[in-house]
Amino acid sequence: MSNSHNDTKLFMLIGLLVALVLAGYGYWFFSTHEKIVEIERGRYSKEARKDDYLAWKRYISRTTGANVEQLKSITALDPTLAENSVFFSPRLQGQLTTRDREHLMLWLESGGHLITVVWTLWDEEDEESGDPFLDQLGIKQSTFSEDPVTNEPQAIDVSALGEQAPITIAFDPYYVIDASGDHIANAISDDNGTHLVQVKVGKGLATVLTDDSFWLNWNIENDDNAYLAWLLANQRPAQQIWFYDEFRATPLTDLLWQHGWPALISLFISIPLLLWALFNRFGPLQRLNSTQQRSMLEHLLASGRFHWQQKKPESLLQPVRQQIARKARRHVPQWSDWSEAQQIDWLHELCQLEHQHIHELLHASPTKEREVVQLLQHLQKLEHQL
């Protein structure tokens, strides 16, 4: 019994020691290690890769309770429901026809809220920016000729939007909007200049920004970017928020005519002239007063002149070379099976001509009229020797 009792005590002692070691190790581990949560950004979904503003749409829909829909055309905006609507379009430059501009102005005057971005610079000499719609609103954007004050995100005053505490936004520091003028209702600025202005249009409001990269999927979660989107969407209570980002590129034909019409006109004139120079030209038939027939020599001269003008001297040389080959086969039936070197060697022994000279007679392609005549003369001599 004593041995069994001693064994029990020994096991209990060992178990206690193991428990103390584990407890000590656990205490050391948790006192020397800190739990850190790391967020690994995965790949965007297929929908997010197609739509850079998907996060903006879902955030605004969830936080405002408004219905966010894709607008198919500007004329689909209903002016009778404008007072309860917000229209966000990142790119309006070059997208609006005259009819679209008139309809959008009517929608704004009826109480709608437009949020858009200016992508053109104001030209002081022409007094326009190239964007008729924003020119109509009096928006003048410029860029820094030197480095901006800072490139870092800045705390900006947004009390004009109903928020008293400053928010942090990283606007593009190189672009600013001229906020002077009575038509500017509100302006949001940082140390570099004004980046957001609001213009009243009838009962409505037009908000214009220098950029919106902070609202893209990859950036909206940073700083107070999402909160700025919420402030603008809630500046006027809205039940419907429209989004429009259909990019319609200017047709290539319009761009070519607008910027390269002199070159196009020159091209249109050059094509007929080029065709006229390349192709054969046949004039009207002329009657010959003389009934005398042409001699064979005249036909040969005319044929030779024609081939030369068409840059086909081979047509003049080939018949003589073929005649030489036919006569050579009479002497040597296996002529056609011989290599070029064997044929030249045989002609050398027969006619006592240099190898190089024979090679030129059989294969040269002269480019000058004098060379063609000389080559024909030597070929004829070679033919007579056979």
178 in the same domain as 322: no
pLDDT for 320: 75
User: Same structural domain for residues 239 and 325?
Assistant: no
97 plus 234 within the same structural domain: yes
Coil, strand or helix at 83: helix
CA distances from 176 to 102, 208, 251 (A): 27, 11, 30
Judge whether 199 lies within some domain: yes
Q: Which of 224, 243, 262 is the last residue of a domain?
A: 243
For residues 27 and 65, give the distance between their C-alpha atoms in angstroms, rounded to a whole number.
49
Residue whose C-alpha is closest to residue 288's, from 298, 279, 278 = 298
Q: How many domains does the chain have?
A: 2
212 and 311 fall within a common domain: no
If asked whether residues 90 and 187 sit together in one domain, one would say yes
Residues 107 and 208 in one domain: yes
Helices (H), the chain: 2-32, 46-50, 54-64, 98-109, 132-137, 225-234, 252-278, 296-309, 314-331, 340-351, 355-363, 369-385
On whether the CB atoms of residues 158 and 232 are closer than 8 A, the answer is no
Residue at which a domain ends, from 243, 261, 292: 243
Percent of the chain with pLDDT over 70: 83
306 and 214 belong to one structural domain: no
pLDDT at 138: 92
Read off the amino acid at residue 28: W
pLDDT for the residue 5: 62
In a domain, 195, yes or no: yes
User: Residue 10 has what pLDDT?
Assistant: 74
Q: Are 314 and 186 in the same domain? A: no
**Residue 117 near residue 90 (C-beta atoms within 8 A):** yes
| Average pLDDT along the chain, 386 residues, taken 10 residues at a time | 65 81 82 73 75 92 91 89 91 81 94 93 88 91 82 87 90 90 90 92 94 92 93 88 72 72 86 79 64 56 62 68 79 80 79 78 73 73 75
Residue 126 near residue 162 (C-beta atoms within 8 A): no
Quickly tell me which residue has 């739509």 as its tokens: 51
Instruction: Judge residue 72's burial from the number of C-beta atoms within 10 Å of its C-beta, 0-12 exposed, 13-18 middle, 19 or more buried.
Output: exposed
Judge residue 201's burial from the number of C-beta atoms within 10 Å of its C-beta, 0-12 exposed, 13-18 middle, 19 or more buried: buried
Shared-domain flag, residues 211 and 309: no
Q: Identify whether 37 is part of a domain.
A: no
Residue range of the domain that includes 178: 46-243
Q: Is 202 among the domain residues?
A: yes
pLDDT of 292 reads 60
**Cross-strand bridge partners of residue 86:** 113, 241
Please give the pLDDT value at position 140.
93
| Cα dihedral across residues 161, 166, 168, 174: positive or negative | positive
Same domain, 239 and 116: yes
53 and 144 part of one domain = yes
Judge whether 181 lies within some domain: yes
Domain assignment of residue 232, yes or no:
yes
CATH of the domain at 188: 3.40.50.880
pLDDT score at 2: 55
Strands 184-190 and 193-201 turn out to be antiparallel
* Residue 290 confidence (pLDDT): 59
Q: Are residues 68 and 177 in the same domain?
A: yes
Within a domain: 206: yes
Q: Is residue 7 part of a domain?
A: no
Q: Is the dihedral of CA 367, 370, 372, 375 positive or negative?
A: negative
pLDDT at residue 319, rounded to an integer: 76
Q: In what order do the strands lie in the sheet with 67-70?
A: 67-70, 240-243, 85-89, 113-117, 204-209, 193-201, 184-190
Calpha distance 61→68 (Å, rounded): 6
